[in-house]
């Protein structure tokens, strides 16, 4: 707890640097990731991330130092090469993109490991810490490193800001972009470069192995909350920032822990929660919605049963018992009782000792459902040429979803018919 308060009071300038750094890195990756995600090339980021390892190691071998500028240049070169490679393989052979990505990713990474282990065995005292690029260490983001990595991500954010419109079009509709004369090829190049840059800056905090998650996961999470690109980018950045801060915190309280995996766990947790609870698209939300519709259908079917009973004895406001309703339709007892109570509460039914009675509102609603059912049956027989004895089941569904607007057009199209295909009266008000 003490650690927690100390950390989040941001008194310690070192902590401030680390936090600012991690957040910047996470945000840049999240924002660029949104565009690659929408272009359905999410796994490209994974390939780039693994492929920067040989670049970092070679830069060290060549320069002999861990100066971040050299390492970034090295990482940039091999990351970039890996993308060219994937494109070449797809274009010039019968291999498909997934194979090209997997091949490039694993071979570049293998080469990186080979060089890294060779450096480690060479006894070069300077090399310690190079392996932090594997799983990341946010806490080592201080001084010169912070300035270099931070500036790269600021440049990256600026470029995205300036080209936001163009990148949007590229992600959504490349063909249209081409048609209105946008330099699509050039923009692709920009996006690729941005992806490589985002990876290169992110590896210090997350490491090459899990960097892909920083590109893909925030975008995937954000996509569940919105259909608007600006909102999506903003949310992805926010999710990225949260995971960045937690990474920095973990690096602070548990120095032995690699930070990358923790950052990834946090962002994945956000994503999983989004998949389940996000409004409209979340999995739980959809189930909840289904249940709501089930209830609505049940209630409408109860009112319909009342109306049918009323039609039979021409007594719409007569008292009905549960047994009467069951004779109309195979209701499940428990659900039927629940539905009746709900209808009483919402004023469609009244209940007294002799049973349940429709209110005027209830009668109108039941009548509308019956009307829609019969109109739809007629529509199916007239326009879809479905035999009259086959239309009932279909109409059982559709009667519940027709909007008043479609209702009006349906009436007009069928020319206000008086009977349905089974010769039953269509009840207008």
Partner 1 sequence: MEAIYIILAGSLVAVSCGLVGSYLILRKMAMVADAISHAVLPGIVIAFFISGSRDSLPMLLGAGALGIITTFLIEFFHKKGNLQTDASIGVTFTWLFALGVILISTFAGKVDLDQDCVLYGEIAYVPIDLWITDTGTIMGPRVLYISGSVLLVVIAFIFIGYKELFLTTFDPSYAAIIGINTTLWHYLLMGAVSLTTVASFESVGAILVVALLIAPPATAYLLTEDFKKMLIFTCIIGIIVSVLGYYLASYIDGSIAGAMSTVAGLIFLVVFLFSPTQGVVFRNRRSKLSMTLNEEPI
Partner 2 sequence: MNIHAEDPIIEVHDLTVSYSQKPVLWGIDLSLPKGSLVGIVGPNGAGKSTLIKAIMDLVPLSSGYVKLFDTQLDNVREKISYVPQRESVDWDFPASVYDVVMMGRYGKLGLFKRPRQADREVVQESMRLVGMEAFKNRQISQLSGGQQQRVFLARALAQQAEVYFMDEPFAGVDAATEKAIVELLRRMSKEGKTVVVVHHDLQSVAKYFDWLILLNMRLVASGPTVDVFKEELLQEAYGGKLTILSEVGDLLTKGRFPSREKTV
Q: Return residues touching partner 1 (CB under 8 A).
A: 37, 40-43, 45-46, 50, 88-89, 92-96, 98-99, 101-103, 105-118, 121-122, 134-135, 209-210, 212-213, 215-217, 219-220, 223-224, 256-258, 260-262, 264-265, 268, 271-272, 275, 281, 283
Q: How far apart are CA 19 and CA 234, in angstroms?
A: 19
Distance of CA 108 to the CA centre of its chain: 30
Would you state the structure tokens that stand for residue 424, as one six-digit string? 């039953």
Question: Which does residue 223 bind out of partner 1, partner 2, none, counting CB within 5 to 8 angstroms by kind?
Answer: partner 1
Q: Does residue number 345 form part of the binding site for partner 2 (CB under 8 A)?
A: no
Torsion, CA 343, CA 344, CA 350, CA 352, rounded to 10: 130
**Alpha carbon separation from 213 to 206, 271, 305 (Å, rounded):** 9, 11, 54
Pick out residues in 270-309 that bind partner 2 (CB under 8 A): 286, 289-290, 293-294, 297-298, 301
SS3 30: helix
Given 91, 185, 330, 345, the residue binding partner 2 (CB under 8 A): 330
The residue (of 86 and 160) whose beta carbon lies closer to partner 1 is 86
Question: Which does residue 297 bind out of partner 2, partner 1, none, counting CB within 5 to 8 angstroms by kind?
Answer: partner 2
Q: What is the torsional sign of CA 10, 14, 16, 18?
A: negative
The residue (of 10 and 293) whose beta carbon lies closer to partner 2 is 293
Long-range contacts made by residues 388-396, C-beta under 8 angstroms, separation at least 24?
388/421, 388/422, 391/421
**Alpha carbon separation from 163 to 29, 158, 236 (Å, rounded):** 16, 9, 18
Enter the DSSP assignment of 352. Answer: E
CB burial string 121-145: b at 16+ within 10 A, e below: eeeeeebeebbbbbbbbbbbbeeeb
Question: Which does residue 212 bind out of partner 2, partner 1, none, counting CB within 5 to 8 angstroms by kind?
Answer: partner 1
- Near partner 2 by CB under 8 A, which window of 113-121, 147-155, 220-228, 400-408? 400-408
Cα distance from N-terminal residue to C-terminal residue, the chain: 69
The residue (of 20 and 414) whose beta carbon lies closer to partner 2 is 414
Cβ 216 vs Cβ 37: under 8 Å:
yes
Question: Which does residue 404 bind out of partner 2, partner 1, none, counting CB within 5 to 8 angstroms by kind?
Answer: none
Q: Does residue number 327 form part of the binding site for partner 2 (CB under 8 A)?
A: no
State in angstroms the smallest separation of the CB of 119 from partner 2. Answer: 41
The residue (of 134 and 309) whose beta carbon lies closer to partner 1 is 134
Q: Does residue number 379 form part of the binding site for partner 2 (CB under 8 A)?
A: yes
- Near partner 2 by CB under 8 A, which window of 64-72, 155-163, 346-354, 403-411? 403-411
Distance of CA 205 to the CA centre of its chain: 25
| CA proximity to 361, closest of 346, 383, 342, 339 | 346
Torsion, CA 278, CA 270, CA 6, CA 205, rounded to 10: -140
Q: Does residue number 403 form part of the binding site for partner 2 (CB under 8 A)?
A: yes
Given 332, 347, 361, 416, the residue binding partner 2 (CB under 8 A): 332
Given 61, 386, 417, 427, the residue binding partner 2 (CB under 8 A): 386
**Alpha carbon separation from 326 to 181, 335, 345, 353 (Å, rounded):** 67, 12, 21, 19
State in angstroms the smallest separation of the CB of 137 from partner 1. Answer: 12
Cβ 347 vs Cβ 361: under 8 Å:
yes
Q: Does residue number 418 form part of the binding site for partner 2 (CB under 8 A)?
A: no
Contact flags string 85-104 toward partner 2, x per CB under 8 A: ---------x----------
Would you state the structure tokens that stand for residue 377, as one six-digit string? 């049956």
SS3 70: helix
- Near partner 2 by CB under 8 A, which window of 155-163, 223-231, 317-325, 392-400? 392-400
Question: Which does residue 409 bind out of partner 2, partner 1, none, counting CB within 5 to 8 angstroms by kind?
Answer: partner 2
Would you state the structure tokens that stand for residue 88, as one six-digit string? 């070449």
Would you state the structure tokens that stand for residue 429, as one six-digit string? 């008000």
Q: Does residue number 410 form part of the binding site for partner 2 (CB under 8 A)?
A: yes
State in angstroms the smallest separation of the CB of 252 from partner 1. Answer: 16
Size of the site for partner 2 (CB under 8 A): 33
Q: Does residue number 336 form part of the binding site for partner 2 (CB under 8 A)?
A: no
Listed in sequence order, the DSSP H helices in 94-142 are 97-121, 132-135
Q: Which residue has the tokens 């052979």?
A: 93
The residue (of 43 and 303) whose beta carbon lies closer to partner 1 is 43
Binding site for partner 2 (CB under 8 A): 94, 286, 289-290, 293-294, 297-298, 301, 330, 332, 379-380, 383-387, 390-391, 393-394, 396-398, 400-403, 406, 409-410, 413
């Amino acid at each position: 707890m003490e650690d927690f308060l100390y950390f989040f009071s941001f008194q310690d300038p070192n902590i401030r640097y680390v936090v600012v750094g991690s957040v910047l890195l996470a945000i840049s990756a999240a924002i660029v990731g949104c565009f690659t995600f929408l272009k359905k090339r999410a796994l490209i980021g994974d390939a780039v991330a693994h492929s920067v390892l040989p670049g970092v190691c070679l830069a060290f071998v060549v320069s002999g130092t861990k100066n971040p500028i050299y390492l970034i240049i090295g990482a940039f070169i091999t990351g970039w090469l890996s993308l060219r490679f994937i494109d070449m393989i797809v274009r010039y052979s019968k291999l498909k993109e997934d194979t090209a990505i997997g091949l490039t990713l694993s071979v570049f990474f293998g080469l990186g490991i080979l060089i890294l282990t060779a450096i480690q065995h060479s006894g070069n005292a300077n090399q310690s810490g190079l392996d932090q690029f594997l799983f990341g260490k946010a806490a080592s983001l201080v001084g010169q490193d912070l300035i270099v990595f931070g500036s790269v991500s600021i440049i990256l954010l600026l470029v995205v800001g300036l080209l936001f419109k163009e990148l949007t079009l590229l992600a959504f509709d490349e063909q249209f972009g081409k048609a209105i004369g946008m330099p699509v090829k050039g923009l692709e190049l920009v996006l690729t470069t941005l992806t490589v840059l985002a990876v290169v800056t992110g590896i210090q905090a997350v490491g090459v192995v899990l960097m892909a998650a920083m590109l893909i996961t925030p975008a995937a999470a954000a996509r569940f909350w919105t259909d608007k690109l600006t909102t999506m980018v903003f949310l992805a950045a926010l999710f990225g920032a949260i995971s960045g801060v937690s990474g920095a915190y973990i690096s602070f309280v548990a120095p032995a822990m690699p930070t990358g995996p923790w950052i990834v766990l946090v962002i994945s947790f956000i994503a999983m929660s989004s998949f389940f609870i996000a409004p409209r698209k979340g999995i739980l939300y959809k189930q909840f919605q289904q249940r709501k519709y089930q209830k609505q259908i049940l209630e409408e079917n109860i009112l319909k049963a009342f109306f049918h009973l009323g039609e039979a004895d021409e007594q719409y406001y007569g008292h009905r018992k549960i047994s009467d309703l069951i004779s109309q339709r195979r209701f499940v007892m428990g659900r039927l009782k629940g539905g009746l109570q709900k209808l009483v509460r919402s004023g469609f039914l009244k209940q007294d000792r002799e049973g349940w009675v429709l209110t005027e509102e209830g009668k109108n609603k039941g009548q509308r459902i019956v009307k829609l059912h019969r109109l739809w049956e007629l529509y199916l027989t007239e326009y879809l040429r479905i035999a009259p004895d086959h239309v009932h089941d279909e109409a059982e569904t559709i009667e519940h979803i027709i909007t008043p607007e479609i209702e009006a057009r349906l009436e007009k199209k069928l020319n206000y018919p008086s009977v349905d295909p089974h010769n039953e009266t269509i009840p207008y008000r």
